Amino acid sequence: MITPTIRAIGAAFSLAVFTTLPLQAQSELAAKPDTSRLTARPLPPPAASAAAGRPPLYRPSSLGMSLGWGAPYGWGFEYSQLVSPNLEVNGGLGVGLGGKIGVGVRYYIEPTKRVSPFFGANLARSGRFANVTLAIDDEEVQYSLRPSGVLHLRTGLRWQPGRFGMLGTFGYGLVFTGDPATYHYATYGRPSKEMRSLVRFFGPGGPEVSLGFLIGLGY
């Protein structure tokens, strides 16, 4: 009597196990997504700025020509070199009232834009200019200018549409080597105050209003 009962229990347990396993497998299959129906989506391209492959507006070096009133190199030429995206060093020479030669720096506020403000400073040497005659009204003087050193403080805008650029500059030059004028003759023995002011106006230093043209080198 006990043996048939044990067999019946074993048969019932086996039936329950075999019935549960297929149901569990079906539920696991139902829980898994059907990957065959998923639509493949392309991966987005790596983020990069529009200017990634574009060369900088300012070339590593430039040749320039300056003209105007009171420029450090007078009517002359300069060579400039970028030492960082914002900072540029330059050297040049030219003519004004006597020869001019010097070095300088320019700091650009927004070098990634076509138009950028800048600040700069130059140290320049003005050469000798001898036997100049100047007259106003009934007064006349004859004088010479000794070589002198000038510190130019400058600001302006740089426009860079491409390889060629332009600089519009305002500034002031400070003579730090003393009055360079030596007077050889004056109508009244000594030049008047107005005459001295006029001589200083035409001498080294003073206000600057100049225009520069640059051509980029490299790339």
More confident residue, 62 or 186: 62
CB 166 within 8 A of CB 211: yes
Mean of pLDDT values over 14-35 = 50
Please report the pLDDT score of residue 93 as a whole number: 95
Quote the CA–CA distance of 17 and 10 in Å, as a whole number.
11
Residue 71 is which amino acid? A
pTM of the model: 0.71
Predicted confidence band of residue 130 (pLDDT cuts 50, 70, 90) = confident
Task: Domain 64-217: give its CATH architecture.
Answer: Beta Barrel (2.40)
In this predicted model, what pLDDT tens digit does every residue of 173-194 receive, in sequence order? 999 998 888 888 888 788 888 8
Q: Pseudo-torsion of CA 150, 153, 155, 160, nearest 10°?
A: 50
Please report the pLDDT score of residue 17 as a whole number: 45
Residue 95 pLDDT greater than 80, yes or no: yes
Please report the pLDDT score of residue 214 as a whole number: 96
Please report the pLDDT score of residue 56 as a whole number: 76
Predicted confidence band of residue 11 (pLDDT cuts 50, 70, 90) = low
Residue 42 pLDDT greater than 80, yes or no: no
Residue 64 pLDDT greater than 70, yes or no: yes
Segments making up each domain of the chain, as ranges: 64-217
Please report the pLDDT score of residue 54 as a whole number: 63
